[in-house]
Amino acid sequence: MIRNKEYLKLKYETGDIPTEDDYSDLIDSCYNDTQSGVTVVNIPEVNFFVKEYVDGIKPRRSECLFSYWSQSNMDFLDYNPKLWLYRYKNNKKKFEDGEIIKHKKDVHTPHLNGINYPNSNFYSGTFFSSVPEISSTGVHTEFDISLSGNSSFEVPIDPYDWFYMNSNSDAYKLNDSLPLINVGYYLKVMGRPKGDLSFLFRLAITIDDPNGGQQRIVGPISDIIALRLVNNHFVYQRRFSDLSKRRFDM
């Protein structure tokens, strides 16, 4: 039996933490239930490819990311589909004996500090960053799906949501006109250790719950995508992953 959203909602309300198996069932291409009268919607798996920029409008963007799917069933387009970004992070837990356990997980950060769901118990909230400007505005993590058939669309990732200049005392947001070298500062990637200049993320299509639930239904998660800075240009790389060793946080 595939666990549904009401099952997860009950676990949250009772203070029980959903297990990896719960999320594995949640992030499935089919939202299903054994109850009668439940609407079943197939959500396609996201795939992607990279194109080279040719217009020269964005100085540091030598590549742009495109997403697509191969599923022929388009019913999910009737339920306000969005493409969500899940960023990679290490999660630390400290126990009473002082032992610290680290595990990897993918987290969906509220888009622009929850502007799309201002009163939601699940998708609102402020993104904390050492860069005041980023904390104030938030980051871009939810994108429109601008097509009606099996064609590709560009995913407008903003590298400056995640790459910034840092020092021992302050940090500031970059843009195309600011230099990547500044005395006393070093380039940093959000949530990554110093010197690691790869922003790791994954993509998934989400839809409104066709059965009226408050939480969105999440489709299959893509392979890991690495956004890197190479020779002063942002480029994308695919990284395959073992899903059985990953956690997914709403």
Residue-level pLDDT at 91: 65
- The four Cα atoms 198, 204, 209, 213 give a dihedral, to 10 degrees, of -30
Provide the pLDDT for residue 240.
60
Q: Which residues make Cβ contacts (< 8 Å) with residue 159, sequence separation at least 6?
A: 60, 61, 199, 227, 229, 234
Max CA distance (Å), the chain? 65
Q: Which of 55-59, 81-85, 170-174 has the lowest mean pLDDT?
A: 55-59
User: Of 163 and 195, which is predicted with more confidence?
Assistant: 163
Rg, Å, the chain Cα set: 19
- For residue 9, pLDDT beyond 60: no
Alpha carbons 121 and 206: distance in angstroms, whole number? 17
Structural domain boundaries in the chain: 41-249
Supply the pLDDT for residue 71: 83
Name the more confident of 209 and 239: 209
